[in-house]
Amino acid sequence: MGWTADNIPDQEGRQVVVTGANSGIGLEATRELARNGATVIMACRSTERGQDAARDIRADIPDADLRPEACDLGDLESIHAFADRLGDADLDVLINNAGVMAIPRSETVDGFETQFGVNHLSHFALTGLLLENLHPHDASESRIVTVSSGIHERGEIDFDDLQHEQSYDPWDAYAQSKLANVLFAYELERRLLTAAANAKSIAVHPGYANTQLQFRGPEQRGSRLRKAAMWAMNTALAQSAAMGALPTLYAATAPEAEGGAYYGPGGFMNMRGTPERQASSKQSYDEETARRLWAVSSELTGVTYDLPEPKAEVSA
């Protein structure tokens, strides 16, 4: 029997931010954190969908302490406004979860290719803006959990065409953004270690979970056939969103979860099952790529971190 939501330690007094908390893995992670006493700040693109999700959870857990907040990750101004509204609130965990997959090419408000912008750049910016809230030099440990995907293994960071302006394949762009998630999580861990901070950066992937993620691409293309095919695949192969949330919950709450690790489901083809530590792709451990991506992300978002150049290492 592996680690399940029943193993979550008491979260009373802990404050967590979850991006994309209104759907799928973010919603289920929020539910279990709230069930165990955490206050969850639900950072959602749509306040209405955030409030609906909070109602859904409260129907199950009446005393859930939930704070839906607007945060559109496709708009740097909205990310700054969200961080400003939090002020100097203490955070114990930040869960960088929101994402979009294999959608037709589009751009965020700031002109970033949407998958790279929403999945990676927004979370780079948000984490930097909330770093002080995560009190990296206090006695109580904090964590930053970044949700990637097994698909990161086929990803490449194309520094010559990061925004896929010259050519666009929706799956390549998704894979690049998910590799960026892991490179970011490890680079952050190296910098936190170098700063002797009491904070851990952890990467996770949910395996294959039945959520709304698979439908966004077909919906935006207006393809009912592809949507039906995705529905059939999800029904036949995917685990529940609640199971998909377990690696995230493990990384966010298990005392033994390690900084710089990558956790995912340990069952059939790593698509289902309970969380275990896994190795990510060879490229994801490449420090030069990680540093270059960090520098470009900082330049594009205008967000800098008060952390030193890394000297520490992260390995599988």
Cα separation, 180 vs 215, in Å, equals 23
Establish if 24 lies at the interface with ligand NAP (CB under 6 A). Answer: yes
Establish if 223 lies at the interface with ligand NAP (CB under 6 A). Answer: no
Q: Which one of 23-31, 132-140, 294-302, 308-316 is the stretch in contact with ligand NAP (CB under 6 A)?
A: 23-31
Establish if 100 lies at the interface with ligand NAP (CB under 6 A). Answer: yes
Number of residues that bind ligand NAP (CB under 6 A): 28
Place of tokens 């799928």: 24
Among 33, 213, 252, 293, indicate the residue that binds ligand NAP (CB under 6 A).
213
- Residues 294-313 as x/- pattern, contact with ligand NAP by CB under 6 A: --------------------
Establish if 49 lies at the interface with ligand NAP (CB under 6 A). Answer: yes
Q: Angle of helix 24-35 relative to helix 246-253, nearest 10 degrees?
A: 40
Asked if residues 263 and 251 have their Cβ atoms less than 8 Å apart, the reply is yes
Asked if residues 274 and 3 have their Cβ atoms less than 8 Å apart, the reply is yes
H helix or E strand, kind and range, residue 194: helix 170-194
285 has catalytic annotation: no
Non-local CB neighbours of 65 within 8 Å, separated by 6+ positions: 34, 37, 38, 39, 40
What are 219's two structure tokens? Answer: 């919906």
The smaller minimum CB distance to ligand NAP, of residues 33 and 100, is found at: 100
Establish if 103 lies at the interface with ligand NAP (CB under 6 A). Answer: no
**Both ends of the chain: CA-CA distance in Å?**
24
Site for ligand NAP, rule CB under 6 A: 20, 22-26, 45-46, 49, 72-74, 97-101, 118, 147, 149, 205-206, 208-209, 211-213, 244
Instruction: List the catalytic residues.
Output: 174
